Amino acid sequence: MRSLYGYVRVTALGLAAALGCIVAPIRTQAELTGNLTVEIEGLRDSNGQVCLALFDSSQGFPDVDGNEVSAECVNVSGTDVVVTLDNLTVGNYAIALYHDSNSDAVLNTNRFGIPTEGFGFSNNPPISIGPASYQESMFLVAGNNTTIQIRLQYL
């Protein structure tokens, strides 16, 4: 009887240790964070601000409607702007941004709906009709520091 108890105890300890090895990396991976540096290039002038929205899913992309992870506007001081977003959970993201040259917090368009201010998306996908998709704009934040470049487009 004593050896059966010892066998059960050793088996239970081994199983617990094995499960701990499987579960621990999953928990640790979910807690990993990194910083994202966004280098925005190609502003036509140094007026206004650049407004940026960060998404972790396609829901709501590219509109700032409450589905974004982060949204902020940064004052422009030259033809390039750098924005840093800290403590992001490691994973896939996409960014939509625009140069709000008149600081009205709106991407201004003409009467046909074509933007009259510069705009851009992560991965710099080609734009034909309509905005880029989340899939086209998606990138990975991995490790401590990730840097991406976004080039503004003016139509």
Higher model confidence: residue 70 or residue 8?
70
Do residues 27 and 38 both lie within one domain?
no
Structural domain boundaries, residue 6 = 1-31
At position 78, the amino acid (one-letter code) is G
User: Which of 102, 83, 103, 11 has its CA nearest to residue 40?
Assistant: 83
Query: Given this model, what pLDDT does residue 31 score?
Result: 76
**Cα–Cα distance measured from residue 110 to residue 117, given in angstroms and rounded to the nearest whole number:** 10
Give the domain CATH number at 81: 2.60.40.10
Do residues 60 and 122 both lie within one domain?
yes
pLDDT at 13 over 50: no
Do residues 58 and 134 both lie within one domain?
yes
Do residues 67 and 133 both lie within one domain?
yes
Residue with tokens 């088996």: 11
Do residues 47 and 113 both lie within one domain?
yes
Do residues 74 and 19 both lie within one domain?
no
Do residues 93 and 25 both lie within one domain?
no
List, for residues 89-115, the tens digit of each pLDDT value. 999 999 999 999 999 999 999 999 999
Total domains in the chain come to: 2
**Cα–Cα distance measured from residue 151 to residue 80, given in angstroms and rounded to the nearest whole number:** 9
Do residues 51 and 25 both lie within one domain?
no
Identify the weakest region by mean pLDDT among 22-36, 44-58, 136-150: 22-36
Do residues 92 and 67 both lie within one domain?
yes
Cis peptide upstream of residue 126 (ω within 30 degrees of 0) = no
Reported as a pLDDT band with limits 50, 70 and 90, residue 24 is very low
Do residues 104 and 57 both lie within one domain?
yes
Do residues 82 and 20 both lie within one domain?
no
Query: Given this model, what pLDDT does residue 8 score?
Result: 43
Higher model confidence: residue 10 or residue 31?
31
pTM for the predicted model, two decimal places:
0.80
Reported as a pLDDT band with limits 50, 70 and 90, residue 128 is confident
